[in-house]
Structure 1
Amino acid sequence: MSGTSMAAPHVSGIVALLKVAHPDWSPAAIKSALVTTAWNEDTYKSEIYSEGEGDKIADPFDFGGGMCNPNGATDPGLVYDMDKNDYLNYLCSLGYSNDKMQNATTLFSKTKNSTSSGIICPNKVPSRLDLNLPSISIPNLKNSVVGNVNAIYKVVIKPPRNTVVKVSPHILKFNSKSKKNSFEVKITSTHQRMSKFTFGSLAWNDGKHFVRFPIAVRKQL
């Protein structure tokens, strides 16, 4: 057996262990910990090859974040977290009406725009890209520190081929009063023609934790 039939029970077991170790973590935080601490090399520190495709080196479309690292996931350093408002804003960005929102969820957001009917989307429609996943498809990402409170993380960029990746700020500082941070990622193509997907990664490193997520870019005219 291979693929999903083996991955699903293994990941489920690791998730159960993480929930015991961190009962206050949300599903999004657990997913983030699994993705950002995963290995993208095999047990011999060699590149992973795509199954059934000869000598093709596997990419994030083949293995996602990589091979799960249970011990690393218990202490990821940073997590990309989400709460109910992130999900509700995402539904708003997809164009769901207030009635459809209520049919899709039992959550009711008590904001200044709320009425007795429940959820009201913000006047300014959120970007559908602004969902805080451990992925480069988001232009603005929020981080929560779950490790050492007083920590300084420096960015480590491995840009996809024919791209320039800029991150601002390039250093994230955390302390007892500042446990969340945000950063912006800008990707510019140096290639003038259409291309296939190329891959890279972005990580935050504090000397102990290496919080990595994959980047996938395709140039389109």
Structure 2
Amino acid sequence: RYGYNTLVDAHVLPATNINYEDGIKLLAYLNSSSSPTASIVFKGTIIGDNTSPMVAWFSSRGPSTSSPGILKPDILGPGVNILAAWHNSVENNTNTKSNFNVISGTSMSCPHLSGVAALLKSAHPDWSPAAIKSAIMTTADQTNLGNQPILDQSLLAADVYSTGAGHVNPARANDPGLVYDIEPQDYVHYLCGLNYTHREIFIILQRKVNCSTESRISEGQLNYPSFSVRSNESADQTYTRTVTNVGEANSSYIVEVVAPQGIDVIVEPRTLHFSKLNQKLTYKITFRRSANNGNTSVSHRYVLWKSAKNSVRSPIAVS
């Protein structure tokens, strides 16, 4: 199940951990010799692996079953073999008193993303949680250190349901150019659109909401920095997005679209002109089944708003 990933482990006996490909080679050697021999040589820390980052086998995949109109996951973060500070042992069966450890999982990637969010909030105190998330998502990397597509544990190109917007890039997130902001009331309209009960919404918001008196929006109308569309829809799917200028006061953005196979993507207007900071502009995006409708793909397709300085990328998923 690890595929080509290997995880650090504290072995009781002299041992090592190899990936699937190396395991096949080792097995072939064992079967080819009547007296196989082996040795373990410690070579220290080896750096410069251009296939990093890679999506681990345990990384959560989309699509979301509870809200398929919102692309999940949002973002990738470092979470494999992370060396970090470690608390004192609370177990009674060990004398280990290490101040550091190497572990993997959400327990590692979540602190990385939380730290990035904290840095962005410190640098931009007026940004909302939604603006911070948008900055992280729209500036993410889609390629590894070798400038090749990010791979999964099988050494295949990871699709959008594995990577979301891509791998977090903290430096670029600090200057996203544009952000997709969401007001708290927008979430109320979203939850009502999902037909949540009054009790379910109260559990989330900790206040009473009567959806019969509230506006309702479809999932795709939430001002999210990504798009998730259905390929079996014969009718056009049109959504509205509003972006806020947090970059240069006087700036213009031109849209670039890489559309999924079998889907035509129409964006109006195709240019956004800003004259001041925090100015908001709205565009409409329509997804239409094309005449040459073939098998849709969950590979990396996107809408990109590009200025002289910034690139604001929103991934598109088709299910």
The TM-score bracket by the shorter chain reads: 0.7 to 0.9
Q: CA deviation at 1:125?
A: 3.2
Whether the 8 Å contact between 2:262 and 2:295 is mirrored in structure 1 is: no
- Contact 1:93 / 1:126 at 8 angstroms: preserved in 2? yes
Name the CA distance, whole Å, in 2 between partners of 1:143 and 1:122: 27
- Structure 2 residue matching 1:129: 3-state secondary structure: helix
**1:53-101 C-alpha deviation (Å, 9 max, x unpaired):** 24x1112211111111111111100001111111111122122455654
Amino acid at match of 1:189: R
1:45 aligns with 2:45: no
- Cα distance in 1 for residues equivalent to 2:278 and 2:308: 19
Contact 1:101–1:119 (CA under 8 A) maintained in structure 2? no
TM-superposed CA distance for 1:193, in Å, is: 5.4
Shift of 1:11: 1.1
- State the match for 1:186 in structure 2: 286
Distance 2:207 2:279 in 1: 26
Native 8 Å contact 2:261 2:295 kept in 1: no
3-state SS of 2:219 partner: coil
Q: CA deviation at 1:106?
A: 3.7
Distance 1:152 1:107, change over 3 A: farther
Q: For residue 170 of structure 1, what is the aligned residue in structure 2?
A: 270
- Alpha-carbon distance in 1 for matches of 2:220, 2:260: 20
- Report 1:126-141 matches (<5 A): 126-137=217-228, 139-141=239-241
Structure 2 equivalent of residue 111 of structure 1: none
Q: CA deviation at 1:178?
A: 7.5
Larger Rg: 2
Q: CA deviation at 1:5?
A: 3.7
Q: Where do 5+ consecutive residues of structure 1 fail to align?
A: 109-117
What percentage of residue pairs aligned between the two structures are identical?
A: 37
One-letter code aligned to 2:135? A
1:28 and 2:130 aligned: yes
The amino acid of 2:312's aligned partner reads V
For 2:150 and 2:204, the matched residues in 1 are separated by 40
1:7 partner amino acid: S
CA–CA distance in structure 2, aligned partners of residues 135 and 33 of structure 1: 12
Distance (whole Å) between structure 2 residues aligned to residue 33 and residue 144 of structure 1: 11
AA aligned opposite 1:64:
G
How well do the aligned residues superpose, as a CA RMSD in angstroms? Answer: 2.4
Matching of residues 1-221 of structure 1 within 5 Å:
2=80, 3-51=105-153, 53-54=154-155, 56-96=156-196, 101-106=201-206, 121-122=212-213, 125-137=216-228, 139-176=239-276, 179-190=279-290, 191-192=292-293, 195=296, 197-218=298-319
- Partner letter of residue 197 of structure 1? V
The alignment covers a number of residue pairs equal to: 207
Separation of aligned partners in 2, 1:120 and 1:189: 33
Q: CA deviation at 1:149?
A: 1.8
Is 2:165–2:315's contact at 8 Å kept on the other side of the alignment? Answer: yes
- Asked if structure 2 preserves the Cα contact closer than 8 Å seen for 1:159 and 1:199, the reply is no
Shift of 1:102: 4.2
Change in Cα spacing, 1:199 to 1:151, as seen in structure 2 (3 Å) is same
Distance 2:210 2:169 in 1: 39
In structure 2, the gaps of 5 or more residues are 1-6, 8-79, 81-104, 230-238
TM-score with structure 2 length normalisation?
Answer: 0.59
